[in-house]
Each structure stands twice: as structure tokens, then as C-alpha cells.
Amino acid sequence: MKSKFYLLNLGCPKNLVDSETMAAKLIKAGFSLTTSPAQADLILVNTCGFIDDAKAESIEAILQLSELKKKLVVTGCLAQIEGREIYRDIPEVSAVVGIGAEREIVRICQDLLQEDRRILRVSPLRSDYRGRFLRKPLTPFYTSYLKIADGCDNRCSYCLIPQIRGGLRSIPMGEVVERAKSLVQEGVKEIILVAQDLSSYGLDLYGRPMLAELLRELGRLEGAGWLRLLYLHPAHLNSELIEVIASMERICKYIDLPLQHISDRILKEMNRKMGGREIEDLLALLRASIPGVVLRTTFIVGFPGETEREFEELLEFVWRSKFGRLGCFPYSPQKGTPAARLPGQIPAEVKREREERLLALQVEVSRTVNQKRVGREEIALIEEEISPNTYSGRTQGEAPEIDGGVIIKGEGLKPGDMVRIKITGSSDFDLIAQVINDRSLIGLEPSMGG
């Protein structure tokens, strides 16, 4: 009888890729995946440890699932940084497996089911993503995240990730292209490239940024659909990369560019390697080079010492820059980061109030940006039928899960279809559209539009 496992993934798409890898390894070893924790012999929680809210969510999930009295395995970022504490404080947890030890997940799970003992495996060793590409899809068939590197060398002063995931480790280009090929063969229409800092891809392996080169390679893949890029660092977005994004039709005209702030003083304290003037110039260059580009960004409000004046400077910048998509985090001091030791820590209620003001402004901005897209013809990826002849979908301007969507009127469509639409209406975060050519556009021609 096959042992069943249930897997709960928390956090970002990079964590989801790790969950897909662990699930595939367990299935290959004879386990079967169940969607019901109550049915499982073994439960895995792939945690996030980025900021306090994420840590709290992970602990809450572990405590809830521990009530089922099953073998409980905690993996992921929180396991890597607070694994010993979890092992000590939550006796219901059977095993804590840090990122460096996820390679051993099969043996650890087999041992847990054979012996009544607890396992703690948190090693400084950073796992290496090279080697055989194994994946149990945890996303809809038509879309997939492809991790091209892990770790980060940027050392932003507020960020724990370099301590959790180590320095930048890129996957060799040949291997990335092979992985993308197998995703296309699986019928994936949208490949979403992810890393901590996508724009630094290859620096460690090839001594220079290689994302532009990689995109040219991926652009030659037969039958591939969209290539979407998430997590570009503004300081590493060079003109070569912008030119490639602009010239290849299949690369989504969607730039995810976490900026974090606009005040020179705060950007310096954050160690973001770029000032406000350079950021404004970069945005102007992006808009001039990629007509109709949708810009996504994230900001941190309430960074230590942030004055009301500096926050208003950020509000003015957001109003002026008209980002299509925007996320916002109240600063969360993380033990072991330089920023946590800075004077002038801002009270929680002030951080929350600034988060609310920024998000309220973005509602107006998003409404304006969406209104400007009415009348445009675009390609949409159909996700599901939500009512007769009405579908949810996304254009190149919407990433899954984090952005609004498109409500599409059409007939006889199915998930994964790519169709030409006309945008007929908009709301604060969503668009409304009508199919104008429902012939499914299977596979954009390789490097068309170059």
C-alpha cells in the first residue's frame, strides 16, 4: 500500500518550485500525493521566513496541521533559519529539514514512517539545483514557474534571504533550456522565470549577467508560448536586456521591478545600489523602449528613520509613475539584518497607516491605468470558465496570483487557449474583454518580432 503525503506550500513561487521538486522525488520513490491532510500518512509544510507575517503564517499552519497527529515534516526558509527552535518548541513536528537538506527528503520521509524518532536536518550546506529536473506540477497545466537561480549577493540591508538561501547560484544555461523544453512538451503555455534576482542570472557562473543571452536561447524554442520575468533588480536591468524584452514578441511586456523606495537617503540605507534619479531615468527608458509595457513594483513603507516628508515623496512618485501593479510591505525588522539595528524604528501603527495610504492611492492609479487599456487588442491566456461563455484569463500584463485578471466573453474556449481579445471595459484592478478571434494561437513563432 503506497504511503500518502500531503504538501502545503507557503511563500513565493521559488518555494513552490522546491515543493514541486520534493513532491516529484517522493512520488518517484513510491509515495502518492493526496489533497486531504486527514488522508495522509505524512504531512509536509514548506514554510516561508521572509518577514514576520510570513513566519507567523507558517507557524500557524504547522500548529493547525499538528492536530491531525500525523508524521509532520517542516521544510523551507523558516526551517532553515529557525529550525532548531521549531524542533525544540513544537514536539508534534517529526522532522525539520532545512533548504540545504531537501535533497534528502525521500530518505527522511521513509525513515519517519519506519521508525518512531524525530529528525533535525538543518545544515549550512546550501542545496544545489543542478542535476536532474524533477517536477510534480502544482500549478495549472498551462503555466509553470522555472527557477533559473537561487540565493542572492545583493545584501539589501533589510533582507534575510542571503542568510537563508546563500549567495547567487545560477543553473547552467544549457540545463535551463532543457528544462524549458520539457515544460513546453508538457503543454505549458506560460513559462515564468524566477530567482531572487533574475537580472543577476549567470554572474556567478559566467562572470557577467546572462539573462539576455538566455532569453535569446529560450526565444528559439519551438512551440513555446509566453516567457514572463519576475523579480528584476533595477540596478541590474541593462539596455541589452531591455532591448531583448522589447524585441521578442513572446516575452511578456510586463516588468516586475521591486523598487522599495524613491528617497535617495532611504535607498542608500537599504543598500539598493541605485538612487531616485536613476530609477526615474530607468522607468522612462523602459516606457520608451517597450510601448505599452505594464510595470509592477513593490515598496517598503516605515523603513527605520522614514520621515513623513520622505513618505510623501514616495506617494508623489507613485502618483507620477502610474505603475500598473503595485505591492507594499510595512517594514519588518529581521534579526541579523543591518536595518534591524538602525535607530529610528517606526511604530507599527504608523507603518500600517502609511501602507493603507499608499495602497489607497494605488487604487486610483490602477483605475486610471486600466481605463487607458480599454479599446486595445491583446492576446489572452484562458484560465477557466466562470459562467456560460464567460471566462477568467490574463494578458501579458497580469501575472498569476498577484495581479488582477481579465473577464472574457467568448464561446467554446478551454483552459490554456490563447486568444485575441479586445478590451471593452475596466474596474480598479480587472479588465473586461471580448474575444475577437477564438482560433487558439498555439505557439508564437520562434523569436518573431525580432
229 to 268, contacts with ligand SF4 by CB under 6 A? 233
Closer residue to ligand SF4 (CB): 100 or 234: 234
Options 159, 215, 286, 419; binder of ligand SF4; rule CB under 6 A: 159
Contact predicate 200/155, CB 8 Å: no
Contacting range for ligand SF4; rule: CB under 6 A; set: 151-159, 172-180, 398-406, 407-415: 151-159
Residues 6+ apart with CB under 8 A from 259: 234, 272, 279, 297, 298, 299
In angstroms, what is the minimal distance from the CB of 60 to ligand SF4? 24
Between CA 414 and CA 411 the distance in angstroms is 9
Between CA 379 and CA 436 the distance in angstroms is 10
In angstroms, what is the minimal distance from the CB of 16 to ligand SF4? 16
In angstroms, what is the minimal distance from the CB of 154 to ligand SF4? 4
Closer residue to ligand SF4 (CB): 75 or 199: 199
Closer residue to ligand SF4 (CB): 51 or 73: 51
In angstroms, what is the minimal distance from the CB of 50 to ligand SF4? 9
Find where cell 520521509 sits: 109
Residues 6+ apart with CB under 8 A from 320: none
In angstroms, what is the minimal distance from the CB of 271 to ligand SF4? 8
Residue 429: name the closest of 393, 390, 398, 386 by CA: 398
Q: How many chain residues touch ligand SF4 (CB under 6 A)? A: 10
In angstroms, what is the minimal distance from the CB of 236 to ligand SF4? 9
168 to 197, contacts with ligand SF4 by CB under 6 A? 196-197
207 to 236, contacts with ligand SF4 by CB under 6 A? 233
Which backbone phi and psi does 71 adopt, to 5 degrees? -65, 125
Closer residue to ligand SF4 (CB): 87 or 145: 145
Contact predicate 210/173, CB 8 Å: yes
User: Which string of DSSP letters, residue by residue, matches 281-349?
Assistant: HHHHHHHHHSTTPEEEEEEEES-TT--HHHHHHHHHHHHHH--SEEEEEE----TTSGGGG-S-PPPHH
Contacting range for ligand SF4; rule: CB under 6 A; set: 65-73, 114-122, 153-161, 383-391: 153-161
Options 154, 345, 392, 440; binder of ligand SF4; rule CB under 6 A: 154
- Helix, strand counts (H, E) of the chain: 13, 19
In angstroms, what is the minimal distance from the CB of 209 to ligand SF4? 14
Question: Quick one: DSSP state of residue 47?
Answer: E
In angstroms, what is the minimal distance from the CB of 238 to ligand SF4? 16
In angstroms, what is the minimal distance from the CB of 279 to ligand SF4? 15
| Strand residue runs (E) in 132-210 | 143-147, 149-150, 169-170, 190-194
In the stretch 5-34, what mask flags binding to ligand SF4 with x, by CB under 6 A? ------------------------------
Which backbone phi and psi does 207 adopt, to 5 degrees? 75, 0
In angstroms, what is the minimal distance from the CB of 48 to ligand SF4? 13
For residue 103, the tally of other CB atoms under 10 A from its CB is: 18
Closer residue to ligand SF4 (CB): 62 or 241: 241
Q: How far is CA 353 from CA 138, 298, 311, 339, 350, in A?
A: 36, 17, 11, 21, 5
Options 4, 136, 155, 181; binder of ligand SF4; rule CB under 6 A: 155
Angle between helices 52-66 and 77-89 (to 10 degrees): 50
Closer residue to ligand SF4 (CB): 194 or 406: 194
Closer residue to ligand SF4 (CB): 270 or 419: 270
Contacting range for ligand SF4; rule: CB under 6 A; set: 70-78, 130-138, 152-160, 315-323: 152-160
Closer residue to ligand SF4 (CB): 102 or 197: 197
Between CA 165 and CA 153 the distance in angstroms is 10
Residues making contact with ligand SF4 (CB under 6 A): 152, 154-156, 159, 161-162, 196-197, 233
